[in-house]
Structure 1
Amino acid sequence: MKLSIALCASAVTAASLPRSEEGLPLSDFGQTHSVSQEDAAAGIDIAYTLNQRAEQGFPLADFGEVHHVEVAQAKQGVDLGGNNFSVLPIFGPGHESSLESWLDKTNRKFKHDVHKFNDKFRHKVGNAIEKVEDIIDDVFGGNFEPRDTIDNVEDVEGELLETRDTGDCANPAIRFEWDNYSTSDKQAFVSAIKCLIDRPASGKFQYSKNRYEDFVRLHQSYAPNIHSQSTSAQTHKFLLWHRYYVWAFEQVLRDECGFNRAMPWWDEKKWAGKFAQATIFTTQYFGTLPGPTNGRGTCVTNGAFAGLQSNLGPGQTVNNPHCVQRAVSESVTAQTGVDSYNTCLARSTYPDFHSCVEFTFHAQGHNGVGATMADAIASPGDPAFFMHHLYVDYVFRKWQLGALSRRTTISGCATNNGCTPLTLDTMIYLGGICGSKCPDLPVRDVLRTLQGHFCYKYNY
């Protein structure tokens, strides 16, 4: 699948300027490289199976079959991981209505201490349990491996007494899912982004016309180094660089636009196949999500970013004023759901997880919103980019919680043109986008969200 403009292309200036209120042909934006969730589940990345890629230097020794159970099997207590569903605290319709009623059912002495531990159980009524971290706050939850068996509540109680990592920051910032974010917080967040759009450019990023475009230009300039050229020529800095990039965006919102709320994130998978109905895409917040107009992108005409103009893109193009535009395809957004999420979480090595994320729900999220977002190079022109990548980082952290080694070691390729090894000493560059808060850092300092340069976590 082609990318709109080669990632290694240099900046070019548009020969003629399109009408700023008219959408560009969708072919100008191209598409972000992607594979279907079915291929990802089968271990196929376009022309290469994962084992074939191993011959080219990708460590795949731990890769195996993606295990799953059907809903009907789960209801019968069948679980390939060996967990006993009769004692896991599954709440909601058809199950126990509360933590206390579950503890009563277990007939354990632990039930009398329910209030002691109640704040450490965080499962919500009606939500599916996907892994132990969904039940127990990861600050207190134990180091459960994916196939650990939980036979009784004492197993959980004992693990509650152990911290996940020594040296974790004491008071992490919490990122709240958009639907758990207050109306006031939502309005403050989009207002802070609008503030950046209205502020002058820093002058550090050529062709940028405002402070928000500094971030677009940074991403556009670094695109050849932070995205894989194809599924067979990959750089595994993608997740690490974007983690730092989104964090830097948060710092600038706070330091330059007075944003003083918790940071949001968007649980994208629950809107798969219906992005246009998502609670971020409303006239109150990010604006609605229209389809294409006569094969062209449709300008954003409502919401906080109505009439937003971009000087950058598609691809490496600069000095090219045009409206920020969308062209939703729900058949593509349908690929961003729980199947892709589970498929990626099941991969056991960092390169395999990384490949899965970059080419499945990450790519399909971009392509599904369409137009500006479908352009892998200048996609931050649409503020929805940051909500999408906050979700990507959320999934990255969820995967890291599966094993301590995922937060202390790294492997893969630092470059997509020869596979220079990715190590803890590989440098991540952000061009000083947020001043002294954004120094060039080694991977070891951006690998964890609770150690190194960061101190944040997600609310579930």
Structure 2
Amino acid sequence: MRSLVLLLAASVASASLLPSISLNLPSSAFPKFHTISQADAEAGNDLPEGFSNSTRVNALEAAATVQTAAEAACSASPNVRFEWRQYSASDRLAFIAAIKCLMNKPPSGNFPPATSRYEDFVRLHQMDMPNVHGNPKFLIWHRYYLWTFEQVLRTECGFDRAMVWWDETLDAGKFAQSDMFTNTAYFGHLPPPDANGNGYCIESGAFAGLTCHIGPGSSNTPHCLARAVDESLTAQCNTGFVNTCNSRTSYSDMESCSEYGPHAYGHDGIGAVMSDVSASPSDPVFWMHHTFVDHGFRIWQNADVADRTTTINGNDHNGNPLTMDTMVSVGGIRPDVRIGDIMNTLSGVSIGGVPFCYRYTY
């Protein structure tokens, strides 16, 4: 009898160690990103009033500028973001480990109902969604959001490597074949949808069995990290579409094309949790995707650095014109900043004692 009792106790203890199975929500539960076709982008059909005639809000800001000491110091020794294929195996594992570290840290308490420090970021995105999507603030806010995430990985989880970025144009139409998803040490598999069009819970990789507590949409219902790749959508993250967007000379025109073009197709193409406009950062591949988006933004700026890093146009969610003095907030995780502080990735402006200073490998 005593042996039977011990066996039952051991069985209960073992069962308690098994991961809980999260709810796998149908794809219809995730609010999808709005997309435009490349043909519509080329015709400017995403712009009701047609292409803008000017890139400037403040003409004086477009005048020739003298490089500041901070810019000079930054340009002399910038942080470099390495494309995934250039990133060493050691660096990749360190990056993944730092993300998992945030997932294992308690939440700050400033973003309920986040259950971890990582979910602080997801909840922030969900809370700010109407303000930072569907208007020209999208690109500049996500630039700062991504940089803030990098800094928290460094200060709170000891991440001490160069940052990574993903050139999705090299994987367009074949995301699932990237070793980001096929190598079980990284982000986990990228399966196609099931017969009903729904995603599968991710059961491989570093984030296998992850439960998401933020989303879908504006709700907060615990659900599994699921994906449902559609390579016909990921195929739109191609060089031609990026170049179509970057051929536009106005910031707000380019932003619209980027947001509803390659950006939206990348989210919807990965599917399920990543297609949730509000809570897509629940999928850690979100950060890789947004390095691709920010890279496209920076390449557009490089075509006319003097103008495109010193001016901005378009209106925010409330109809207020964006200027270089418009404030960008990440909910207190890092200080609020002026758009003018982060419009140039090589500005060198000190933010909380850390210079805003980076470039991409190409």
Question: Is residue 212 from structure 1 mapped to residue 118 from structure 2 by the alignment?
Answer: yes
What CA distance in whole angstroms lies between the structure 1 residues aligned with 2:35 and 2:261? 6
What CA distance in whole angstroms lies between the structure 2 residues aligned with 1:280 and 1:35? 27
Matches within 5 A, 1:72-111: none
Structure-2 residue corresponding to 1:377:
278
Match of 2:292 among 391, 410, 414: 391
Please state how far the C-alpha of 1:20 moved relative to its aligned partner. 4.2
Structure-2 residue corresponding to 1:363:
264
Matches within 5 A, 1:316-335: 316-318=218-220, 320-335=221-236
Amino acid of the residue matched to residue 147 of structure 2? W
CA contact (8 A) 2:22 2:222 kept: no
Please state how far the C-alpha of 1:279 moved relative to its aligned partner. 2.5
Match of 2:216 among 314, 320, 336: 314
CA contact (8 A) 1:179 1:279 kept: no
What CA distance in whole angstroms lies between the structure 2 residues aligned with 1:286 and 1:366? 15
Please state how far the C-alpha of 1:165 moved relative to its aligned partner. 5.3
Higher relative contact order (CA 8 A, sep 6+): 2
Structure-2 residue corresponding to 1:297:
199
What CA distance in whole angstroms lies between the structure 2 residues aligned with 1:399 and 1:350? 9
Structure-2 residue corresponding to 1:196:
102
Structure-2 residue corresponding to 1:441:
337
CA deviation map 1:58-106 (0-9, x unaligned)? x61269xxxxxxxxxxxxxxxxxxxxxxxxxxxxxxxxxxxxxxxxxxx
Match of 1:457 among 344, 359, 362: 359
What CA distance in whole angstroms lies between the structure 2 residues aligned with 1:295 and 1:455? 42
TM-score computed with the length of structure 1 as normaliser = 0.68
Match of 2:153 among 250, 253, 263: 253
Structure-2 residue corresponding to 1:155:
none
Please state how far the C-alpha of 1:402 moved relative to its aligned partner. 0.7
What CA distance in whole angstroms lies between the structure 2 residues aligned with 1:62 and 1:432? 34
What CA distance in whole angstroms lies between the structure 2 residues aligned with 1:30 and 1:316? 9
Please state how far the C-alpha of 1:364 moved relative to its aligned partner. 0.2
SS in 1 for 2:97: helix
What CA distance in whole angstroms lies between the structure 2 residues aligned with 1:405 and 1:32? 30
CA deviation map 1:164-204 (0-9, x unaligned)? 95633132111000000000000110011011111111111
Structure-1 residue corresponding to 2:49:
53
CA deviation map 1:410-454 (0-9, x unaligned)? 111122x4x211111111011112xxxx11111111111111351
CA deviation map 1:232-278 (0-9, x unaligned)? xxx21100100000001001111111110000000011111101011
Amino acid of the residue matched to residue 358 of structure 1? E
CA contact (8 A) 2:23 2:222 kept: no
What CA distance in whole angstroms lies between the structure 2 residues aligned with 1:337 and 1:205? 36
CA contact (8 A) 1:414 1:426 kept: no
Q: Percent identity?
A: 54
CA contact (8 A) 2:35 2:265 kept: yes
Please state how far the C-alpha of 1:37 moved relative to its aligned partner. 1.4
Structure-1 residue corresponding to 2:14:
none
CA contact (8 A) 1:32 1:367 kept: yes
Please state how far the C-alpha of 1:314 moved relative to its aligned partner. 0.5
SS in 2 for 1:336: coil
Please state how far the C-alpha of 1:22 moved relative to its aligned partner. 4.1
What CA distance in whole angstroms lies between the structure 2 residues aligned with 1:359 and 1:40? 9
SS in 2 for 1:317: coil
Amino acid of the residue matched to residue 131 of structure 2? N
CA contact (8 A) 1:20 1:321 kept: no
Match of 2:90 among 181, 184, 187: 184
Larger radius of gyration: 1
Match of 2:186 among 285, 291, 294: 285
What CA distance in whole angstroms lies between the structure 1 residues aligned with 2:21 and 2:37? 34
Matches within 5 A, 1:396-411: 396-403=297-304, 404-411=306-313
SS in 1 for 2:181: coil
Structure-1 residue corresponding to 2:320:
420
CA deviation map 1:377-397 (0-9, x unaligned)? 000000000000011111111
SS in 1 for 2:82: strand
Tell me which protein shows more helix as a share of its residues.
2
CA contact (8 A) 1:23 1:325 kept: yes
| Off by >4 Å, runs of 4+ in structure 1 | none
What CA distance in whole angstroms lies between the structure 2 residues aligned with 1:20 and 1:221? 27
What CA distance in whole angstroms lies between the structure 1 residues aligned with 2:275 and 2:49? 26
What CA distance in whole angstroms lies between the structure 1 residues aligned with 2:115 and 2:361? 35
Number of equivalenced pairs? 321
Structure-1 residue corresponding to 2:39:
38
What CA distance in whole angstroms lies between the structure 2 residues aligned with 1:192 and 1:61? 45
SS in 2 for 1:176: strand
Structure-2 residue corresponding to 1:152:
none
CA contact (8 A) 1:265 1:391 kept: yes
- The runs of 5 or more residues in structure 1 that have no matched partner are 1-18, 64-163, 229-234
CA contact (8 A) 1:196 1:211 kept: yes
CA deviation map 1:195-228 (0-9, x unaligned)? 1111111111110000110000000001010001
SS in 1 for 2:147: helix
CA contact (8 A) 2:21 2:209 kept: no
